[in-house]
Amino acid sequence: MTNVPFFAQVNSHFDRAAKFTDHRPGLLRQIKTCNQVFHTTFPLQRDDGSIESVEGWRAVHSSHKLPSKGGIRFTTKASEDEVMALAALMTYKCAIVNVPFGGAKGAVKIDPHNYSEPELERLTRRYTFELTQKRFIGPGIDVPAPDYGTGPREMAWIADTYEAVAHELDAIGCVTGKPLAQGGIRGRVEATGRGVFFGIREACDCAEDMKKLGLSPGLEGKTVVVQGLGNVGYHAAKFLQDGGAVIVGVTEYEGAVYNPKGFDIEALVAHREDSGSLLGFAGAQDLAAREEGLELECDILVPAALENQITVENAPRVKAKIIGEAANGPVTSDADKVLNERGVMIIPDAFLNAGGVTVSYFEWVKNLSHLRFGRLGRRFDMRMRTTLLQTVEEHVGVEFPPGTIEDVAQGAQEEDLVNSGLEDTIIEAFNEVRDIKMRHDGQMDMRTAAFVCAIEKVALTYRERGIFP
């Protein structure tokens, strides 16, 4: 495993990309530097009456646009370095996909599996109170979201706590990824995995790029291994499978399973829920060492767990021709160089897993407008389409089959609009990054191109604000 700190690895990618820009050193330093880090230690009363001290962080990498945005994770691996690195990635990610947020990240150093629901609620509410007191949360300041070890339940507790303390009209916009009944948005749960699918699909549709890899264009028939069967990994696998790819391997903390002929992801999930393990799935080969899953024979590898999973040690053994980074920082900077020298296509996390923040942006806009997407125009659109089709029948003499008018005239629901906006965002980001790469053909990879894209956009904001000439 690499000993290079995570934030230093992110900055290494930044420095590599910065060489392709003509910005002054002072501006580049400002973009790269983490602006603020808040560290707190607070008491938690356990169910047995004992008191435990809990550590938490919130890092704001950049406030070039407000609010800043980034998830909150509950993990024993949390550290100041990690939240700074993830906050930096959020800055660049938001810039690449044209979401008007700065980058932030939060963490609480616990294993959520070791705490009861009442304990997690007390912990989450106290952490929120600490953030509120130091102005590290608010709909116009800093807006958290779910991350590793957290979900809609925790976001509901955060929103409720903030609303009780802040007494603001737009308080519900202080956090995203909430349950629908508390201001959430349809499509948010599967957004990151769906975005991963859109990005990989776009990459596979580039005939020129696939030819270099010795692959045919399109997703159909391509073999996929997914590391991590959490929310992101599961949905990425599901959408890739629905898109024609073949899931041949899945790896989790208890081990990995492999079948070169493929298996159904839904059946595997059901097996794991019943047995508590991936292992023992019918027709699949068990691999007791989960690390072996990263080295399985496949066309596409999707690491969807934590950072630093592919290192300089195991990179030479990775057999995939395409790596789609569904997690943040799954490939270390040293491994990145090894894989690129081997001709492996890495679709970087800097935009591939931006589906979550993209749909979080939609949720935030919905919360501030206090209006559900589609509410004003859906029925009007349905009537207009119905009238148009009926006019065609009447004046052209065409008679549509039964039910056709109703099907075609159906207006867009909130989830339809969210998924459409997400698809457009990821496709636009992929094409923009690829265009930068092609303009420097042979000199940079997709990750470097993504960082160049981010640097240019953040620099433009600073210049437009008059901070740097």
Cα atoms found within 13 Å of the Cα of residue 316, Cβ hemisphere only: 2
Tell me the three state secondary structure of residue 282: coil
Please give the structure tokens belonging to residue 91: 């800055």
Q: Is residue 104 part of a domain?
A: yes
State residue 469's pLDDT score.
Answer: 65
Edge-to-edge, what's the strand order for the sheet holding 322-324?
285-287, 255-258, 246-252, 223-227, 300-303, 322-324, 345-347
What secondary structure letter does DSSP report for 410? Answer: P
Do 143 and 250 lie in one domain? The reply is: no
Please give the structure tokens belonging to residue 421: 């906006």
List, run by run, the mean pLDDT of 10-residue segments along the chain (469 residues). Answer: 80 96 95 97 97 98 95 96 96 97 98 97 98 96 95 97 94 96 94 97 96 96 94 96 96 91 94 90 86 92 90 94 94 92 94 95 96 78 79 80 76 87 96 95 90 97 81
Q: What single letter denotes the amino acid at residue 149?
A: G
Q: Is residue 469 part of a domain?
A: no
Note whether 223 and 299 are within 8 A (CB). Answer: yes
Active-site residue identified among 105, 178, 222, 437: 105
Note whether 103 and 87 are within 8 A (CB). Answer: yes
State residue 1's pLDDT score.
Answer: 43
Note whether 225 and 214 are within 8 A (CB). Answer: no
Do 205 and 277 lie in one domain? The reply is: yes
Do 154 and 262 lie in one domain? The reply is: no
CA atoms of 29 and 26, how far apart (whole Å): 5
- Where among 331, 352, 373 does a domain terminate? 352
Q: Is residue 135 part of a domain?
A: yes
Do 171 and 205 lie in one domain? The reply is: no
Do 285 and 177 lie in one domain? The reply is: no
Q: Is residue 281 part of a domain?
A: yes
State residue 394's pLDDT score.
Answer: 78
Do 277 and 156 lie in one domain? The reply is: no
- Where among 182, 214, 247 does a domain terminate? 182
CA atoms of 3 and 84, how far apart (whole Å): 17
Is residue 105 part of the annotated active site? The answer reads yes
Q: Is residue 76 part of a domain?
A: yes
Note whether 335 and 308 are within 8 A (CB). Answer: no
CA atoms of 291 and 303, how far apart (whole Å): 11
State residue 389's pLDDT score.
Answer: 79
- Where among 138, 155, 182 does a domain terminate? 182
Do 195 and 176 lie in one domain? The reply is: no
Q: Is residue 70 part of a domain?
A: yes
CATH number of the domain enclosing 283: 3.40.50.720
For the chain, the domain total comes to 2
As beta bridge partners, residue 285 has 258
Do 143 and 243 lie in one domain? The reply is: no
Q: Is residue 418 part of a domain?
A: no
Do 103 and 153 lie in one domain? The reply is: yes
Do 230 and 335 lie in one domain? The reply is: yes
Do 280 and 217 lie in one domain? The reply is: yes
CATH number of the domain enclosing 89: 3.40.50.10860
- Give the range of the structural domain holding residue 63, as residue numbers without chain letter: 36-182
Identify which of 346, 324, 358 has the alpha carbon closest to the alpha carbon of residue 428. 358
State residue 392's pLDDT score.
Answer: 81
Counting DSSP H helices and E strands in the chain, the numbers are: 16, 12
Neighbours of 433 (CB within 10 A): 26
Do 216 and 283 lie in one domain? The reply is: yes
Distance of CA 29 to the CA centre of its chain: 26
Q: Is residue 261 part of a domain?
A: yes
